[in-house]
Copies of this chain bind each other. A is one copy, B any other.
Amino acid sequence: MSSDIPEPAADEIATTPTPPYTAVIFTSLRTAGDNGYTAMATQIAELAAQQPGYLGIESAGEEVEITVSYWQTEDHAKDWKRVVQHAEAQRLGRELWYSRYVIRVATVTREYGN
């Protein structure tokens, strides 16, 4: 990665607290071409990290992309939704970047791993 491009704010696997907490699962099908997407995605991840109740974010994929953001409570996730909706990103996203997307808000009840 060029040193001119900032690293994403996300860790690869988020460090999250003992459940319960809130997960927002964003699954999208991307359109062809970047169209400013990469720069926007970096900015949005940095903005998310500054919001109250932010716990972490994970993102994978290109044509099919899954991004999961984690929040202390569902109210924190709702506040983040309002911030994003006010941003230009949301309007452009619908028009330029995604042919389809689904957002699911969920309460994490158990977590385990290695």
Q: Which residues of A contact B (CB under 8 A)?
A: 12-14, 16, 19, 23, 25, 27-29, 58-62, 64-66, 68, 74, 94, 98, 100-114
Residues B113 and A25 in contact, CB atoms below 8 Å apart: no
A100 and B74 in contact, given A105-B109, A106-B108 (Cβ under 8 angstroms): no
Give chain B nearest CB distance to A75 CB in angstroms: 12
Residues B23 and A25 in contact, CB atoms below 8 Å apart: yes
Interface class of chain A by DSSP? strand
Chain B hits for A113, CB < 8 A: 100-103
Residues A104 and B100 in contact, CB atoms below 8 Å apart: no
Residues A27 and B101 in contact, CB atoms below 8 Å apart: no
